[in-house]
Amino acid sequence: MKSRFCSLIGVILRRLPIPRARIESILMAYGVPPASASGGSTSAIKQVKLDKECEIRIEVGNETPLRLRLLSGTAEIFGAELPPEFWLTFPPRHKFAVFTWYGATIEMDGETESDYTTNETPMVSYVNVHAILEGRRNRARASPPDSNSSQGPRVIVVGPKDSGKSTLSRMLLSWAAKQGWKPTFVDLDVGQGFITIPGSIAATPIELPIDPVEGVPLEMPLVYFYGHVTPSNNVDLYKVLVKELADILERQFAGNAESRAAGMVINTMGWIEGVGYELIQHAITTFNANVVLVLDQEKLFSMLKKDVLKNNPNVDVVKLQKSGGVVSRSNKFRQRTRSFRIREYFYGPGNDLSPHANIANFSDLSIYRIGGGLQAPHSALPIGAKSVADPLRLAPVNINRDLLHVVLAVSFAKEPEQIISSNVAGFIYVTDVDIHRKKITYLAPSTGDLPSKFLIMGTLTWLET
Ligand SMILES: Nc1ncnc2c1ncn2[C@@H]1O[C@H](COP(=O)(O)OP(=O)(O)OP(=O)(O)O)[C@@H](O)[C@H]1O
């Protein structure tokens, strides 16, 4: 049963590029009649000519999706080239830029919150970084497999909130994939969840440029569930999971010269002060990063340059300009995006997946929470007393109505003691708890039994609307 669930979850996690025929059904899912059925969208179609090294920055309107296609020339969205003459559909509130190196004309159909063109972009400096990484990958591939120099670049992208870290990460990955590499994408940002749902840290090989609409294809993600959307909830647990993920990747690299040479790109969260800064340093050393790209902030750059080079003078710490196109997102917007990401996990980006409602007996499930809850500050404890809250304590959860609307991770652990060190198979969403009949109803990506009875609960909830 385990393998069935896992293989199904693998299929469901995988987000393949949308076939042309499905674009229309995605439009319908957003409540927009397909152009062929309505004889054309109600909104104006407009053409935009882009000169070389220019981009158009677009924020899709709040209500309806936007269709866009390349009419002539060449253009890319965050490193992924646009296919000619092919309509792409971007969901409401999506923010992105279409950039061209040599000039292009695009056509847009739908409402935008804003759209404007500019020739002021940091793209040349970004592609220069890519060229240097490319040289390092080639040198790594040419080195003897068990030598130190067979390790390709391990790039970590850091910077404050909304500085364009995820965007730069995806560009570097897409450009590398376009040249035939399979770099590993590591996402340590539990707040947004670029690879899978928020509250997780994850890694996946990138074999093709990242789809501008669908995002990262999830064929073989390695996911650890932290359970909260900010590392401050349980810093020790966050660090332990980062270490687990790094150790597994280290083992994978040891046995795979190709992915070792391709290296990795690590996306981080925007918390850069105090403990957040410590966590950035922790990630740099844990993943043995050899290139640190600092976006936007002079202070962070000079601090990291001093602290990182003190420990390892071979690391390159590079400051890069933030793109003027990066959009600042409010907390409310981030919350909404998180909800959308969870919905996408179960239903697919264009409502193209069908999750299943399953029922289990209370006795079939063992739910655990990691950490002793909020730690009391020392000042709040009697003199001489120590806080007993252990951030890595595994606490069984009593099944009751508090589980309603909670997102739980399904652990690969075989014993409770393995829960912290195990990655997860996927996620379920609790839709009903029947105390009387001792039954729990949940939404899962597939039918059948769960691959394990061990479930992890954090503070991640979702209200299905
Ligand atoms: N050149 C651009 N034009 C238009 N939108 C852009 C551009 N670059 C980035 N964006 C958008 O700006 C938003 C923020 O960018 P991004 O997610 O890369 O920032 P971040 O630093 O990773 O954010 P976080 O604070 O969550 O870590 C995203 O919606 C992204 O698509």
CATH of the domain at 301: 3.40.50.300
421 among annotated binding-site residues: no
Question: For a pocket test of ligand 1, which of 166, 214, 335 has the largest count of ligand atoms closer than 8 A to its C-beta?
Answer: 166
Percent helix / strand / coil, the chain, rounded to 5: 30, 30, 40
* Domain final position from 309, 338, 367: 338
Q: Is 112 in the pocket of ligand 1 (CB under 6 A)?
A: no
Residue identifier of the C-alpha nearest atom 18 of ligand 1: 164
Q: Which helix (H) or strand (E) holds 170?
A: helix 165-178
Identify the sign of the CA torsion 189, 190, 196, 198: negative
* Same domain? 51 vs 128: no
Please give the Cα distance from 448 to 308 (Å, whole number): 49
Q: Considering the domain boundaries, does residue 349 fall inside one?
A: no
Domain that holds residue 385: 355-461
User: How many CB atoms sit inside 10 A of residue 185's CB?
Assistant: 23
Please give the Cα distance from 464 to 82 (Å, whole number): 33
95 among annotated binding-site residues: yes
Ligand 1 centroid, distance to 211 Cα (angstroms): 16
Burial of 395 (0-12, 13-18, 19+ CB in 10 A): middle
* Same domain? 285 vs 171: yes
Q: Considering the domain boundaries, does residue 346 fall inside one?
A: no
* Same domain? 276 vs 156: yes
* Same domain? 142 vs 290: yes
Q: Number of C-alpha atoms within 13 angstroms, CB side, residue 402?
A: 8
- How high does pLDDT run on average in the chain? 87
Q: Is 268 in the pocket of ligand 1 (CB under 6 A)?
A: no
* Same domain? 367 vs 447: yes
Q: Considering the domain boundaries, does residue 219 fall inside one?
A: yes
Q: Considering the domain boundaries, does residue 16 fall inside one?
A: yes
* Same domain? 275 vs 175: yes
Give the atom of ligand 1 at the shortest distance from the alpha carbon of 334: 26
Chain segment 384-415, per-residue pLDDT in tens? 544 557 888 899 999 999 999 999 999 999 99
* Same domain? 146 vs 101: no
Q: Considering the domain boundaries, does residue 345 fall inside one?
A: no
Answer whether 214's CB lies under 8 Å from 170's CB: no
Chain segment 172-218, per-residue pLDDT in tens? 999 999 999 999 999 999 998 889 999 999 999 999 999 999 888 76
Residue identifier of the C-alpha nearest atom 29 of ligand 1: 95
* Domain of residue 406, CATH code: 2.40.30.330
Ligand 1 centroid, distance to 455 Cα (angstroms): 33
* Same domain? 237 vs 333: no
* Same domain? 127 vs 52: no
* Same domain? 141 vs 156: yes
* Same domain? 98 vs 157: no
pTM of the predicted model, to two decimals?
0.88
pLDDT value for 383: 57
Q: Considering the domain boundaries, does residue 208 fall inside one?
A: yes
pLDDT tens for the chain, residues 1 to 465: 333 233 333 333 333 333 333 344 444 443 444 433 333 334 579 999 999 999 999 999 988 999 999 999 999 999 999 999 999 999 888 999 999 999 999 999 999 999 999 999 999 999 999 999 999 999 999 998 888 889 999 999 999 999 999 999 999 999 999 999 999 999 999 998 889 999 999 999 999 999 999 888 766 799 999 999 999 999 999 999 999 999 999 999 999 999 999 999 999 999 999 999 999 999 999 999 999 999 999 999 999 999 999 989 999 999 999 999 999 989 998 998 899 899 989 998 778 888 999 999 999 999 999 986 544 455 555 555 445 578 888 999 999 999 999 999 999 999 999 999 999 999 999 999 999 999 999 999 888 889 899 999 999 999 877
3-state secondary structure at position 280: helix
Q: How far is CA 374 from CA 232, 233, 248, 271, 452, in A?
A: 11, 8, 29, 20, 28
Q: Is 95 in the pocket of ligand 1 (CB under 6 A)?
A: yes
* Same domain? 111 vs 202: no
Q: Is 192 in the pocket of ligand 1 (CB under 6 A)?
A: yes
What's phi and psi for 373, nearest 5 deg?
80, -165
Angle, helices 235-254/275-286, rounded to nearest 10 degrees: 20
User: How many CB atoms sit inside 10 A of residue 63's CB?
Assistant: 12
Q: Considering the domain boundaries, does residue 350 fall inside one?
A: no
Q: How far is CA 453 from CA 3, 118, 150, 459, in A?
A: 14, 53, 41, 19
Query: Total structural domains in the chain?
Result: 3
Ligand 1 centroid, distance to 435 Cα (angstroms): 44
Q: Is 167 in the pocket of ligand 1 (CB under 6 A)?
A: yes
Chain segment 345-373, per-residue pLDDT in tens? 999 877 888 899 999 999 999 999 998 65
Residue identifier of the C-alpha nearest atom 15 of ligand 1: 164
439 among annotated binding-site residues: no
Q: Considering the domain boundaries, does residue 69 fall inside one?
A: yes
